[in-house]
Chains A and B, each alone.
Chain A
Amino acid sequence: MNEQGQIVKVGIADMNIAKAPDKIRTSGLGSCVGVVLYDERSTTVGMVHVMLPDSSLGRTEVINIAKFADTGIPAMVEQLKIEGIQPYKLKAKIAGGAQMFQFSSTRDTMRIGPRNVEAVKEYLKKYSIPIVAEDTGGNSGRTIEFDPTTKLLNIRTVNQGVRNI
């Protein structure tokens, strides 16, 4: 019999770590991007729910590091290091970055989904973390759940069903 795990939840602009048999999930990703960092040989994984591309966009003194791609990814790499996972072993799976509404407007905010995806890719590249699988863009909301045992990212949408990447 398999040991039954819990589900570790990651909120919006939040990050967390899960260890098998637990799974890790974030719900209702729209323009935000869910980033999973894992080592093939470890069953400890991290997930960040990125809301904005760059912390220079933040106008507060104290920033929530999980909110931005440029701070959330390094912070997660550091946290995993504390868990004994070397950054060069890390791989990534990412999902989200949708455009939920179609506008004629050219406001920058309207393109936030694609910009988040670009920023996440840029920072993963900086750390030489390869993206093994991705499901980004489009115009559907996603709920994602990563299983640290199988390393599969389960993606649920309202109109396009469920798939594993």
Chain B
Amino acid sequence: MMYDSKITSMHLDVLKEIGNIGAAHAATALSTLLNKKIDMKVPKVEMVSFDDMMDLAGGPESVVAGIYLRIEGDVTGSMFFVLPVEQANRFIRRLVQDENFDFQTGEVSELGASAMQELGNILSGSYLSALSDFTHLKIYPTVPALSVDMVGAIISFGLVELSHVSDYVIVIDTAINEEDVPNEESVKGHFFLLPDPESFDAIFKALGVN
């Protein structure tokens, strides 16, 4: 099995390119949706401990709106799109035109929740279809699920599968930012793509990497 010890820096570079392609498409989709320029930061691809993964996501207790979906097909794994909750609120307020919308009130309107889910759907869908086009691998995302909670509680769910084989995770991380707005108001999300360990072989093989 190719994990932990067998992953080289060249492999990580290949995964980074994968993240680049996927996230570029997602950024384009978001730009269209918001009618604004969206800036994408070159993805970070690292092998990190579970605790470091939580820190990448902003620390285990930071509150986020998290979209989770499973990937099925030739490649399996977990995918997250997380937004700090204040930014998710601002975004959904704009989309559903309800100034009082707030994920943190506990009782979230169905419209707002499904708007958030749809956002996750559009972004992760464009991310994954770019990936599928590029690798010619069959990738089927499940319907995304939404949770607004501590990022540690949300992300650890995606670590369950690979925690069977490792204490480390390869994170394909992409930050996505809205341009030309004050920093604190811009949409700042993260994609985390966590392929299951046995999927790395399929990815590398599809790309002709040994």
| Interfacial residues, chain A to chain B (CB-CB below 8 A) | 11-14, 27-32, 51-52, 57-60, 64, 67, 98, 100-103, 105, 107, 109, 112, 139-143, 158-159
A30–B154 CB distance below 8 A: yes
Q: How far is the CA of A103 from the CA of B68 in the complex (A)?
A: 10
B157–A101 CB distance below 8 A: yes
**B residues less than 8 Å from A51 (CB atoms):** 156, 159-160, 163
**B residues less than 8 Å from A143 (CB atoms):** 60-61, 150
B104–A52 CB distance below 8 A: no
Q: How far is the CA of A97 from the CA of B59 in the complex (A)?
A: 20
- Choose from B68, B106, B152, B163 the contact partner of A13 (Cβ within 8 Å): B163
Answer whether A100 and B164 are a contact pair too, CB < 8 Å, given A11-B51, A158-B63: no
* Closest A residue to B68 using CB positions: A101
B150–A141 CB distance below 8 A: yes
Q: Does B39 contact A (CB under 8 A)?
A: no
* Closest B residue to A141 using CB positions: B153
**A residues less than 8 Å from B114 (CB atoms):** none
Q: Chain A binding site: helix, strand, loop or mixed by DSSP?
A: loop
Q: How far is the CA of A82 from the CA of B160 in the complex (A)?
A: 31
- Choose from A13, A28, A60, A102 the contact partner of B153 (Cβ within 8 Å): A28
A67–B152 CB distance below 8 A: no
* Closest A residue to B57 using CB positions: A28
A31–B160 CB distance below 8 A: yes
How many A-B pairs have beta carbons closer than 8 Å: the answer is 104
**A residues less than 8 Å from B142 (CB atoms):** 103, 105
Q: Of residues B142, B145, B163, which shows the largest number of chain A Cβ atoms within 10 Å of its Cβ?
A: B163
Q: Does B50 contact A (CB under 8 A)?
A: yes
* Closest A residue to B50 using CB positions: A12
Q: How far is the CA of A141 from the CA of B157 in the complex (A)?
A: 11
**B residues less than 8 Å from A107 (CB atoms):** 70
**Mask of B41-74 contacts with A, CB within 8 angstroms, 1/0:** 0000000011100100001110100001010000
CB-CB nearest 6 A-B residue pairs: A28-B152, A141-B153, A28-B60, A30-B153, A141-B150, A101-B145
Interface size on B, residues (CB 8 A): 33
**A residues less than 8 Å from B147 (CB atoms):** 100-101, 139
B163–A52 CB distance below 8 A: yes
Q: Does B201 contact A (CB under 8 A)?
A: no
B157–A30 CB distance below 8 A: yes
A112–B104 CB distance below 8 A: no
CB-CB contacts below 8 Å: B94-142 with A? 104, 106, 142
A98–B153 CB distance below 8 A: yes
B164–A28 CB distance below 8 A: no
**B residues less than 8 Å from A13 (CB atoms):** 50, 163, 167
Q: How far is the CA of A59 from the CA of B167 in the complex (A)?
A: 11
